Amino acid sequence: MTSPTPTSPLVVEGYRGGAVSFDGRFVEISKKGLAALTSASGSKRIPVKAITAVQIKPAGVLTNGFIQFTIPGGNESRATYGRQTRHAVADENSVVFTKKQQPAFEALRAEIERAMYPDA
């Protein structure tokens, strides 16, 4: 896989209109369609240097998973066990994905973490 660039970003489509793109410098979370009904529609750009953590909750047999970005001062959703995915749907720093979409989100996380910690 080639590294993402501003002219050739890595774009990963999530569940019901959620998506994340990464160009090597910025992570952009966009929500449209059904994904925008439970949180703000449009997009949010986060400089990769501002991201302190990337969490993935794997999709299960009966549940979807999600990717969540932690940023200082961010308002990512904190949920009790068993309700994380439901809360991630409304979280502006999260995108929900299906089991089939999970490998693409895992690859996305790896690329973002490489940019977060280039010397690791």
Q: Is 88 exposed, middle or buried (0-12, 13-18, 19+ CB in 10 A)?
A: buried
Dihedral of CA 49/41/104/82: which sign?
Answer: positive
Predicted confidence at residue 85, as pLDDT, reads 60
Is 32 part of a structural domain of the chain? yes
Residue 93: which domain range? Answer: 10-116
Q: Is residue 5 part of a domain?
A: no
Q: Number of structural domains, the chain?
A: 1
Cα separation, 100 vs 94, whole angstroms: 18
pLDDT tens digits for the chain (120 residues)? Answer: 678 887 899 999 999 899 999 999 999 999 887 655 555 567 899 999 999 999 999 999 999 999 999 999 765 555 555 555 666 777 889 999 999 999 999 999 999 999 999 987
**3 occurs within a structural domain:** no
Does the predicted TM-score (pTM) go above 0.85? Answer: no
pLDDT of residue 110: 97
CA distances from residue 119 to 46, 106, 115, 116 in whole angstroms, order as listed? 21, 20, 9, 9
Look at residue 2 and tell me if it is in a domain.
no
Query: Does some domain include residue 4?
Result: no
Q: Is 1 a member of any domain?
A: no
In a domain, 111, yes or no: yes
Sheet holding 18-22, edge to edge: 10-13, 18-22, 26-31, 42-47
CATH of residue 50: 2.30.29
